[in-house]
């Protein structure tokens, strides 16, 4: 086998470059042959050395290797721009031009030959011609009559006329060598079509036709900026006609058309620009090609070049450039491009370009159009066989870096096909081959399909291993492929990675590579295990996973790389391994298979999972991370699945589990919106509470002791729609425990809110969202359907079988009203604290919820009966009585609500009257105070008024005395000596002054004054008395 590599080629010094030829063909005397697509022409005098990672060059037809991005699990692969593949493009040697002549002396462009001039005149004319080049070029443009050329080509054929036609075509080519004006494109295309018709009988027109097509590859010329829009239809038709010229049975013409299309994406300006013209924008031709549907035409033309390898490669190269546009890709898909290209994959091509270009176009189609549409076109048996054949060939015989990259790309396409159930992957044997390839390095079982195959440990083979693992995950979703997975030892192969990584390298993989493969294999195991439960149990997978989880929380020195997709968040720890292992357990326990769950519990999984949960909770306290929250949520789910409906396992969970659950329920509500996964963790904790605690009195009592009911009601008070349903369900289940209702009744929320008030508020909120009809006071507005939602009223009557629930029954599970009713029934409808009149109005409806729901069912039953047949008289009367009872219940509740509102209104009026009475008393007291103050001011300012008040006071005192004279009794005077106040004295006078015991004062001479101490009994002699006197600042003296 010849080695292929990149070589250089010398550029010819003169002459025209060849316009045809076969890759690797012999040279022609006129010049070097045209390099095949993918081999660049030489650009210097020395050969370009091959790259260090390429094999030695052995032939000129081999494609060059290139570096691509590796194919990952989800293939985040953006294809390189077509321009970067310029190393694979064909670079022709530029055609040498004829010796330059003065435009005036050109016989093809001059109207008539002029007389000869002397040398000086020629030199002067040449100088004038250089100065007036623009004017001369304008003259050139006006000197060619394209209409005359068209008329000449349409004339009947003759030998002399043929020479004249060819000569005229050469003049046209020479005339437009710097680009075609937009205004002349329509006539140029007409000339191209006439030449194509003449080629069928006269091969001499081949070269002029190719030259004209070559001119279409140059930038078009415009005079005004608006010309691009004005001539857009003509230009798009022109480019579309280029595609139609592929019908010409000439290899040279077809190759030249493809070169012209490729030049759209590598536009080069001509050496000379026409005066008054400017080239169109760089993307103009690309846009016009999209508008003209050129890509679809080239796809259809592949049928014409099916047996010509060189032409086919050129067409594929042009399509590779065109497929970089989404518009072109959609046009190509209309022509069944995907299936056509896939059938060419296994064609004979020594250069290898056929596979490369076809796969590149397929990738562009996948990226720029609907992936489902491409996969559907590739899902024929012929396409799958072709894809399998070329994949196996590259797998077994490819040795270059380029071959391995191309092999991986084809494997990604095969993976997409495997996702389509309609693709005949199993019938073609491709599925079995891929499964064997994914497992043969782990299970070491000889298989004739891969005899002699040995993978290296290069990066491309590492990518291949990951892609094969991904194929297994895809195939696990296909029920038809499950048996193949079971027969080809997929489970033992994946379980090989469920063990501690005890050394830096494993099987010559680096530590980072082995960690990535390990995490990937465990992640695939989570997808495959639910479908291979028998193999899962026979391989002791539960034991391996529990041992692996024990290692994950151990103190062994291990530092994860965390470089892969599955290793996110696992750098420097074992959290990534823990998360993937728990996902496997979660996937198998979610099957609720008794054998799997019993096998886990017998090995002490509940106790071990609680230890891991504590470990993760401590990690979360150090730093909250999404991966740690996910681990906790997965463990809670696994515990829920294991303990549900098993009393013994709930008892194992009870004390330790409740202690762990309480902090999750106490979570700060603000964290639910953090985006890290706290909401998922809270739901998992509530689900675990429902499954692992409820039903076990030991666990329930311990939860009540920890004030768990109060925590649930605090969460319920947040009134979050997604939380209310599950919390109410838990509370209803908890009420089977007689201790629960007292906890619910004791709870108080914000502003001393009671549980009954909270439940009634939730009922009103639910009815508002359902659109239940109520009046502004909350009373029943429709007595016939008092609790029907707006959506329920819009439903038409549909007769249902007896075993199918009606809409009225289904509605019970779709909202929380049934749970609220059940919970209030547990609490009782009497003597509920903290309720307002509005709450009692709503409570009247809640109390009759079951009666109203029964009425709804009977209403549906009556409607269904009327749709099918007419009931007999007795049945009809019974139905009327039942309907009347339902309506009467609604009226009774409405009347009760009205009575409650009237009682509330009457009570409000009484309270209002009491308030007004209190206000009147306050006003009267204020008036009396004002009057007393006015009298006081009068007495202090007028002495006569004071004397009058004194006389009135004395009369009052005298009148209040007893008329009987007391014998031998002491008569006390009503006057106080030394008193100088101007108001009547009361029974108690407060004097704020220095105590008279120390310094005497106006009261010292009175009988009521305290005895003044002597010096010997002074205040400095006895400390206790001093402390007593110092503490006295106010002394109240009673006055008779």
Return the higher-pLDDT residue of 157 and 105.
Answer: 157
Mean pLDDT (whole number) for 438-449: 81
3-state secondary structure of 989: strand
Q: Is-contact 668 676, C-beta < 8 A?
A: no
3-state secondary structure of 774: strand
Q: How do residues 609-632 score in pLDDT, each as one tens digit?
A: 999 999 998 888 877 788 899 999
How far is 248 from 228, CA to CA, in rounded Å?
A: 29
**Residue 694: closest CA among 632, 755, 662, 650:** 650
CA quadruple 346, 350, 355, 360: dihedral, nearest 10: -170
Q: pLDDT-derived band of residue 274, with 50, 70 and 90 as boundaries?
A: confident
pLDDT on residue 141: 44
Return the higher-pLDDT residue of 164 and 44.
Answer: 164
Compute the Cα dihedral for 770, 773, 774, 779 and give only its sign: negative
Q: Report which secondary-structure segment, H or E, holds 991.
A: strand 988-991
| Helical spans, DSSP H, in 747-802 | 755-770, 790-794
How far is 765 from 211, CA to CA, in rounded Å?
A: 81
How far is 209 from 202, CA to CA, in rounded Å?
A: 12
Task: Tell me the C-alpha to C-alpha distance, in Å, between residue 838 and each of 308, 754, 841, 903.
Answer: 89, 15, 5, 12
How far is 846 from 835, CA to CA, in rounded Å?
A: 14
How far is 58 from 66, CA to CA, in rounded Å?
A: 18
**DSSP single-letter state for residue 1008:** T
How far is 17 from 8, CA to CA, in rounded Å?
A: 16
Within its chain, how far is the Cα of 555 from the centroid?
A: 37
Look-up: residue for tokens 């029943």? 780
Instruction: Tell me: pLDDT of 821 over 60.
Output: yes
Instruction: Tell me: pLDDT of 1005 over 60.
Output: no
Instruction: Tell me: pLDDT of 5 over 50.
Output: no
Q: In this structure, what token pair is assigned to residue 99?
A: 């010796």
Q: State the Rg of the chain over Cα.
A: 51
How far is 333 from 377, CA to CA, in rounded Å?
A: 9
**DSSP single-letter state for residue 1038:** E
Q: Report which secondary-structure segment, H or E, holds 485.
A: helix 482-487
CA quadruple 854, 860, 862, 864: dihedral, nearest 10: -150
Per-residue 3-state assignment (H helix, E strand, C coil) for 242-273? HHHHHHCCCHHHHHHHHHHHHHCCCCCCCCCC
How far is 531 from 483, CA to CA, in rounded Å?
A: 10
How far is 726 from 774, CA to CA, in rounded Å?
A: 27
Instruction: Tell me: pLDDT of 50 over 60.
Output: no
489: left (phi > 0), else alpha (psi -120 to 50), else beta? left
- Of 15-29, 138-152, 308-322, where does mean pLDDT reach its minimum? 15-29
Q: How do residues 770-811 score in pLDDT, each as one tens digit?
A: 989 888 888 988 888 888 888 888 877 777 777 788 888 888
Q: Is-contact 949 937, C-beta < 8 A?
A: no
Instruction: Tell me: pLDDT of 444 over 70.
Output: yes
How far is 682 from 673, CA to CA, in rounded Å?
A: 12
Return the higher-pLDDT residue of 362 and 9.
Answer: 362
Q: Report which secondary-structure segment, H or E, holds 692.
A: helix 678-692
Instruction: Tell me: pLDDT of 253 over 50.
Output: yes
| Helical spans, DSSP H, in 108-205 | 119-131, 133-143, 146-154, 159-175, 185-198
Look-up: residue for tokens 């020195």? 557
**Residue 642: closest CA among 691, 680, 693:** 691
CB atoms within 10 A of CB 895: 13
Most confident of 19-23, 280-284, 960-964: 280-284
**Residue 239: closest CA among 184, 172, 290:** 290
Return the higher-pLDDT residue of 748 and 446.
Answer: 748
Q: How do residues 404-418 score in pLDDT, each as one tens digit?
A: 999 999 999 999 999
CA atoms lying within 13 Å on the CB side of residue 243:
23
pLDDT on residue 450: 77
Q: pLDDT-derived band of residue 996, with 50, 70 and 90 as boundaries?
A: low
- Buried/exposed 453-472: b ≥16 CB within 10 Å, e otherwise: eebeeeebebbbbbbbbbbb
pLDDT on residue 1002: 52
How far is 92 from 214, CA to CA, in rounded Å?
A: 12
- The long-range contacts involving 934-940, CB below 8 angstroms and separated by at least 24 positions, are 936/983, 939/982, 939/983, 940/982
Strand partners, 222: 278
Mean pLDDT (whole number) for 636-652: 93
Mean pLDDT (whole number) for 965-972: 63
How far is 308 from 349, CA to CA, in rounded Å?
A: 11
Q: How do residues 690-725 score in pLDDT, each as one tens digit?
A: 999 999 999 999 999 999 999 999 999 998 888 899
Strand partners, 1036: 990
How far is 357 from 341, CA to CA, in rounded Å?
A: 9
pLDDT on residue 606: 93
Q: How do residues 554-571 score in pLDDT, each as one tens digit?
A: 877 666 666 667 667 667
Q: How do residues 61-76 score in pLDDT, each as one tens digit?
A: 333 333 333 333 333 4
Look-up: residue for tokens 């470059």? 17
- Of 16-20, 108-112, 201-205, 633-637, where does mean pLDDT reach its minimum? 108-112
Following DSSP, what letter does each residue of 38-60 receive, concatenated? T-PPP-SSSPPPPPTTSPPP--T
Task: Tell me the C-alpha to C-alpha distance, in Å, between residue 2 and each of 59, 61, 937, 1016.
Answer: 7, 10, 131, 138
Q: In this structure, what token pair is assigned to residue 294?
A: 């050129």
Q: Is-contact 799 868, C-beta < 8 A?
A: yes
How far is 380 from 339, CA to CA, in rounded Å?
A: 8
**DSSP single-letter state for residue 569:** T
Residues written for the chain = 1040
**Residue percentage of the chain with pLDDT more than 90:** 39
């Amino acid at each position: 086998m010849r080695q292929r590599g990149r070589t250089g080629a010398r550029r010819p010094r003169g002459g025209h470059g060849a316009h045809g030829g076969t890759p690797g063909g012999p040279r022609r005397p006129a010049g070097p042959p045209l390099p095949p697509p993918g081999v660049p022409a030489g650009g210097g005098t020395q050969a370009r050395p091959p790259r260090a990672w390429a094999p030695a060059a052995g032939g000129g037809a081999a494609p060059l290797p290139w570096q691509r991005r590796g194919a990952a699990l989800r293939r985040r692969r953006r294809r390189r721009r077509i321009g970067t593949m310029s190393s694979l493009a064909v670079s022709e040697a530029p055609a040498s031009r004829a010796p330059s002549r003065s435009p005036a002396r050109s016989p093809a462009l001059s109207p008539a030959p002029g007389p000869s001039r002397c040398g000086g005149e020629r030199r002067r004319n040449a100088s004038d011609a250089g100065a007036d080049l623009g004017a001369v070029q304008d003259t050139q443009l006006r000197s060619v009559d394209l209409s005359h050329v068209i008329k000449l080509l349409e004339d009947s054929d003759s030998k002399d006329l043929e020479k004249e036609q060819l000569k005229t075509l050469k003049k046209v080519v020479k005339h437009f060598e710097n680009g075609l004006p937009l205004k002349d494109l329509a006539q140029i295309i007409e000339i191209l079509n006439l030449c194509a018709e003449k080629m069928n009988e006269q091969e001499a027109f081949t070269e002029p036709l190719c030259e004209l097509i070559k001119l279409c590859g140059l930038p078009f010329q415009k005079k005004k900026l608006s010309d691009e829009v004005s001539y857009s239809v003509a230009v798009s038709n022109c480019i579309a006609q280029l595609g139609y010229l592929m019908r010409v049975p000439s290899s040279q013409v077809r190759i030249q058309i493809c070169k012209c299309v490729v030049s759209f994406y590598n536009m080069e300006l001509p050496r000379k620009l026409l005066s008054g013209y400017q080239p169109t924008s760089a993307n103009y031709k690309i846009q016009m090609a999209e508008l003209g549907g050129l890509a679809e035409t080239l796809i259809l033309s592949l049928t014409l070049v099916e047996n010509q390898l060189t032409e086919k490669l050129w067409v594929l190269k042009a399509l590779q450039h065109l497929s970089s546009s989404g518009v072109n890709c959609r046009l190509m898909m209309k022509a069944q491009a995907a299936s056509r290209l896939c059938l060419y994959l296994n064609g004979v091509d020594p250069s290898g370009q056929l596979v490369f270009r076809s796969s590149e176009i397929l990738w562009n189609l996948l990226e720029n159009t609907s992936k489902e549409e491409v996969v559907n076109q590739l899902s024929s048996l012929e396409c799958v066989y072709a894809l399998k054949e070329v994949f196996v060939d590259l797998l077994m015989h490819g040795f270059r870096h380029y071959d391995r990259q191309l092999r991986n790309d084809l494997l990604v396409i095969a993976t997409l096909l495997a996702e389509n159930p309609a693709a005949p992957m199993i019938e073609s044997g491709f599925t079995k081959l891929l499964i064997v390839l994914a497992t043969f390095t782990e299970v070491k079982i000889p298989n004739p399909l891969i005899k002699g195959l040995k993978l290296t440990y290069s990066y491309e083979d590492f990518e291949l291993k990951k892609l094969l693992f991904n194929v297994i995950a895809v195939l696990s979703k296909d029920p038809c492929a499950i048996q193949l997975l079971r027969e080809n030892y997929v489970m033992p192969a994946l379980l090989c990675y469920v063990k501690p990584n005890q050394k830096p390298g494993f099987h010559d993989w680096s530590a980072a590579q082995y960690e990535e493969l390990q995490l990937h294999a465990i992640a695939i195991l989570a997808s495959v295990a639910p479908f291979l439960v028998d193999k899962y149990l026979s391989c002791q997978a539960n034991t391996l996973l529990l041992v692996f989880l024990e290692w994950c929380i151990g103190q062994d020195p291990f530092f994860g790389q965390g470089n892969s997709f599955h290793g996110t968040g696992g750098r420097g720890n074992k959290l990534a391994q823990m998360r993937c292992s728990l996902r496997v357990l979660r996937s198998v326990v979610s099957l609720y298979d008794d054998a799997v769950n019993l096998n886990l519990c017998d090995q002490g999984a509940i106790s071990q999972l609680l230890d891991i949960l504590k470990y993760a909770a401590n990690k979360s306290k150090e730093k909250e991370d999404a991966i740690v929250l996910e681990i906790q949520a997965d463990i809670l789910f696994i515990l829920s699945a294991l303990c549900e409906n098993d009393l013994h396992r709930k008892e194992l969970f009870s004390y330790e589990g409740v202690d762990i659950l309480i902090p999750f329920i106490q979570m700060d509500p603000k964290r639910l919106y953090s985006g890290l996964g706290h909401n998922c963790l809270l739901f998992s904790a509530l689900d675990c509470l429902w499954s692992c605690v409820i039903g076990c009195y030991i666990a329930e009592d311990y939860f009540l002791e920890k004030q768990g009911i109060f925590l649930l009601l605090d969460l319920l008070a947040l009134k979050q729609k997604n939380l209310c349903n599950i919390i109410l369900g838990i509370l209803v289940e908890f009420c089977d425990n007689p201790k629960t209702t007292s906890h619910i009744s004791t709870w108080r929320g914000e502003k001393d809110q009671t549980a009954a008030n909270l439940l009634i508020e939730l009922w009103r909120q639910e009815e508002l969202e359902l659109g239940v009809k109520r009046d502004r006071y909350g009373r029943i507005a429709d007595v016939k359907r008092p609790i029907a939602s707006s959506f329920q009223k819009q439903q038409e009557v549909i007769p249902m079988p007896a075993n199918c629930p009606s809409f009225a029954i289904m509605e019970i599970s779709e909202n929380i009203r049934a749970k609220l009713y059940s919970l209030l029934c547990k609490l009782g409808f009497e003597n509920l604290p903290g309720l307002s009149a509005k709450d009692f109005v709503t409570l009247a409806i809640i109390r009759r919820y079951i009666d109203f729901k029964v009425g709804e069912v009977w209403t549906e039953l009556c409607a269904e009966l009327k749709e099918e047949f007419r009931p007999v008289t007795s049945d009809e009367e019974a139905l009327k009585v039942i309907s009347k009872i339902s309506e009467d219940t609604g009226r009774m509740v409405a009347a009760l609500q009205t009575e409650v509102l009237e009682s509330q209104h009457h009570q409000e009026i009484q309270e209002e009257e009491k308030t007004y009475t209190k206000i009147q008393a306050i006003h009267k007291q204020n008036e009396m105070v004002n009057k007393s103050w006015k009298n006081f001011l009068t007495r202090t300012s007028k002495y006569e008024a004071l004397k009058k008040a004194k006389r009135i006071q004395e009369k009052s005192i005298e009148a209040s005395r007893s008329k009987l004279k007391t014998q031998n009794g002491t008569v006390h005077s009503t006057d106080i000596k030394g008193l100088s106040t101007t108001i009547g004295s009361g029974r108690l006078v407060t004097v704020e002054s220095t105590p008279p015991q120390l310094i005497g004062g106006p009261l010292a001479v009175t009988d009521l004054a305290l005895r003044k101490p002597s010096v010997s009994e002074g205040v400095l002699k006895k400390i206790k008395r001093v402390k007593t006197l110092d503490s006295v600042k106010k002394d109240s003296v009673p006055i008779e």
